[in-house]
Structure 1
Amino acid sequence: MFIMAKFLIVGSGAREASFALQLMKDTQLYGVIGHKNPLIIDCIHQSGGEYIVDDADDPDTVLKFAKQHKIDYAFVNADQPLANGVVDVLLEHGIKAIGGTQAATRIEWDKVYAMEMMQKRCPEFTPFYIVVSDKRSLSQALSEFKSRNLEVVVKPQGLTGGKGVKVMPIHLPTYDDCYNYAMSLFDGRPNESVLLVERLQGIEFTIMGITDGKNLVMAPASYDYPFRYEGDVGPGTGGMGCFTAAEKKLPFMTDENLTDCKTIMQRIIDEMRHTGLRFSGVLNGGFFKTTRGIKFMEFNGRFGDPEGLNVLSVLDGSLASVLVHIWNGTISDDVITFAKKASVTKYLVAKEYPEHSGTATEFTIDVKSIAEMGIKTYFASCIQVGDTRYRTLKKSRVVALGAVADTIQEASHIVNIAIDRHIQGNLEYRSDIGSAESLQRLH
């Protein structure tokens, strides 16, 4: 149906690799990529498209490439290109760009803006928070949390790649530690406010809504493992892995929880549309299930990583078709459906992660044998240096493996087997993602 259409992806992570794997099936695929991601390059070559290694965050670079190759549809999904206005520039030049405009994706890159929109449209789902605009107001704000006997989450206002949020008492044992960290944010980001939010007690999860700016289709909810080491200890990361269940809700969720999440996201989409903001693509909601019901944590204006890998692995049909329906404003639960299967994704990382590595790590991975097990390999921050040899880029997550099965535990188990059998090198992963013991802790 879309074989002659030219689709452009922007970015070079595992998430973009998962887009490439889908889009190569029925489009001519093009890419503006920051490094030579082996999977993205392979998909582009197989589809008959082309790519350039350049600054994927720069609107002018993306526009020049898109015009040169007469791109029909561009799918912009990474946080920095969205925040930099890549979608705006493409739209201005007549290219069908799917993704939020710079103003619309402010809901991700400005946490204060998102929280205030929630307070306006969904106060019953919004936790207690205070926006601190300068250092002088910080002590009084923290005193308010202390008087309410509330632990604090300290959030910078802008983008941090998932690594700037610190939680009391895990990262910040005392209110004084919260004060010191917030002060450091003011020093490092003098033009931004700091957001203080009550620490919610409950289970954190995410759910992505696919939207054309009016209609909304909910993807399966996902549970992410942000902490570096097994047992949910260690520093926060961009996400060590994730699972989705065979039904749209997670094992600890009720139907009412799912309905509440959709209510929140529909109200936010309606608010953006009514205020003249063009948002299309994916609204990614981070929520807590608490004893007080569903509470809001944050929004992202894109597929999560790794959550997007999971959701796309159970998408029925064509991603290209979904993107065209988004552009045409015709999405519905009839045209976007998901297989009733569970999925698990696990990232492998260098020992030093989330810190940068001093030296690159070489590793081998038998992609063919992994594929024969029914498992997908999504390369991220690495390059290919031989037939089965790869080298890390000394930062970020290296490669993800994803499986689909009848149960979460089964998918988790076969990913572990694939990693242990077919990957050699000094990389680490969390074997407990999606394990029976991990799931038991969530009930």
Structure 2
Amino acid sequence: MRVLIVGSGGREHVLAWKLLQSPQVQKVYCAPGNAGIAQIAECVPISVDNIEALVAFGLEHDIQLTVVGPEAPLTAGMVDAFTAAGLEAFGPSKEAAQLEGSKIFAKQIMEKYNIPTAESRTFTSADKALAYLAEKGAPIVVKADGLAAGKGVVVATTVEEAEDAVKRIMVDKEFGDAGARVIIEEFLQGEEVSVLAFTDGNTVVPMVSSQDHKAAYDGDTGPNTGGMGAYSPAPILTDQLLAEVEETVLRPTVDGLRQEGITFKGILYAGLMITAQGPKVLEFNVRFGDPECQVVLPRLKSDLSAIMLSVIHRCLHEETIEWYDNHTACVVMASGGYPGKYTKGKEIKGLDDAATLDDVYVYHAGTAEKGKKIVTAGGRVLGVTAWGDTLPAALEKAYAAVDKITFDGAHYRKDIGQKALRRK
């Protein structure tokens, strides 16, 4: 089987690495890929938003499976375009991808089908939003409606902070059209956890649990990022709680969409807050999370390509999905200044040394080749991932690998997994 992966981040590196473990997969292309992916797959210089060129590539190279990694091409209708051309593509349709593409659409589905989530109000006017903030007070959450690369959510501890968020999103248009509407949401107290599931629109199969670290700095301080690290399993998500999430969140969402005439096929990702009243949805994503992908897929024992094809053909109920009973941990090494301004082109040293360590794999997120050197090319640069029989063992290996890698201004959190260790 010839596979095309669309994307250029850590998630796409994991997908390439995992799909190449399938006996069915002979060749993997990645568009556009990165310096790490180029070591295991053939990178193709086509951007993720050039749907027409990607479909043409799929037809020309007889691609039997296309996997769309990021959210933007999914919400732009890439899977629909591939399907219309007679090509197999894994991921939701444009209509189904609204679940991530519009937080307001997601809220409407949750409210209609009684899926637990925070109370909220939607605004198209900055003045009305500011008046509502003055009335409600803080802490409170402000969200841009559309896609903002994981940076469109502000958890404000003061009214001034919330007002600043509304102004940046709606008045200054920091995220462009994504900020034409905002949701102002009650602040939920609890612990955050991610649950990902495979679904073909009927059958829903949750994956092993994971927990990521959104805040930029140790102790969950600083601005939100796309994710600074993750681990799996997450001890907070007991078997009983996972069953509750499946019953109250995952199945009602897929069934509700189907009742709306929308068949959701692909990855359903629920970002949850475990509150005193039970799990509540913070957000939905319609693809693998990053860095959750880095800790979940290494634990997958079954053939990923077979699972993806069963989702496309709507026969997921015929698959038995098995997982390794181990622990995984990922530490993200980011550019100095991320998630704000940062510089690119810094040489990365020590990758070969890290690769010699047992049970460690360094997934590239924002890297590029410059001559014979590998250099930084993004905010999140590497996802240093390890596995072991216990979480402490996995963390020790991951940080040992991090210690071998250097680049100018490198920043990473030193407390990945500590919440889980304290809980145990």
- Could you state the TM-score of these two structures normalised by the residue count of structure 1? 0.89
For each residue in 1:104-159, what CA deviation from the matched residue of structure 2 results, as whole angstroms up to 9, or x when unmatched?
Answer: 00000100110111111125x1211111122342244325524xxx6210000001
For each residue in 1:279-310, what CA deviation from the matched residue of structure 2 results, as whole angstroms up to 9, or x when unmatched?
Answer: 21100000011111111100000000000111
Task: Return closer, same or farther for 1:235/1:139 CA change in 2, 3 Å cut-off.
Answer: closer
Q: Is the 8 A contact 1:210 1:218 kept in 2?
A: yes
| 2:76 equivalent in structure 1 | 84
Give the CA deviation at 1:416.
0.7
Equivalences for residues 279-298 of structure 1 within 5 A: 279-298=264-283
| 1:105 equivalent in structure 2 | 97
- Number of aligned positions between the proteins: 416
| 1:8 equivalent in structure 2 | 4
| 1:429 equivalent in structure 2 | 412
| 1:47 equivalent in structure 2 | none
- Could you state the TM-score of these two structures normalised by the residue count of structure 2? 0.92
Does residue 135 of structure 1 match 2:120?
Answer: no
AA aligned opposite 1:288:
M
For each residue in 1:328-369, what CA deviation from the matched residue of structure 2 results, as whole angstroms up to 9, or x when unmatched?
Answer: 222249521211111101111121222232352112133365
Equivalences for residues 181-196 of structure 1 within 5 A: 181-187=165-171, 188=173, 189=176, 192-196=180-184
Q: Is the 8 A contact 1:32 1:65 kept in 2?
A: no
Give the CA deviation at 1:32.
4.4
| 2:39 equivalent in structure 1 | 42
Give the CA deviation at 1:425.
2.6
For each residue in 1:181-231, what CA deviation from the matched residue of structure 2 results, as whole angstroms up to 9, or x when unmatched?
Answer: 213322214672110111100001111011111111111121111111222
Does residue 415 of structure 1 match 2:398?
Answer: yes
Equivalences for residues 19-418 of structure 1 within 5 A: 19-25=15-21, 26=23, 27-34=25-32, 37-44=34-41, 50-123=42-115, 125-146=116-137, 151-169=139-157, 173=158, 175-187=159-171, 188=173, 189=176, 192-245=180-233, 250-263=234-247, 264-332=249-317, 335-367=320-352, 369-385=354-370, 389-393=373-377, 395-418=378-401
Q: Give the Cα–Cα distance (whole angstroms) in 2 for the partners of residues 414 and 12 of structure 1.
A: 26
Q: Is the 8 A contact 1:371 1:377 kept in 2?
A: no
Q: Is the 8 A contact 2:32 2:43 kept in 1?
A: no
Give the CA deviation at 1:163.
1.0
Give the CA deviation at 1:399.
1.1
AA aligned opposite 1:40:
I
Q: Give the Cα–Cα distance (whole angstroms) in 2 for the partners of residues 143 and 434 of structure 1.
A: 37
Q: Give the Cα–Cα distance (whole angstroms) in 1 for the partners of residues 355 and 43 of structure 2.
A: 26
Q: Is the 8 A contact 1:261 1:294 kept in 2?
A: yes
Let me know the Cα RMSD of the aligned residues. 2.0
**In terms of mean alpha carbon deviation, does 23-32 or 75-84 score higher?**
23-32
For each residue in 1:56-110, what CA deviation from the matched residue of structure 2 results, as whole angstroms up to 9, or x when unmatched?
Answer: 1221121111111111111112111111111110011110111011110000010
Secondary structure of the residue aligned to 1:325 is: helix
- Taking only the aligned residue pairs, the percentage that are identical comes to 28
Q: Give the Cα–Cα distance (whole angstroms) in 1 for the partners of residues 63 and 318 of structure 2.
A: 28
Give the CA deviation at 1:39.
2.8
Task: Return closer, same or farther for 1:369/1:309 CA change in 2, 3 Å cut-off.
Answer: closer
For each residue in 1:236-270, what CA deviation from the matched residue of structure 2 results, as whole angstroms up to 9, or x when unmatched?
Answer: 1110100012xxxx322343321221121111111
Runs of at least 4 residues off by over 6 Å: none
AA aligned opposite 1:135:
A
AA aligned opposite 1:213:
G
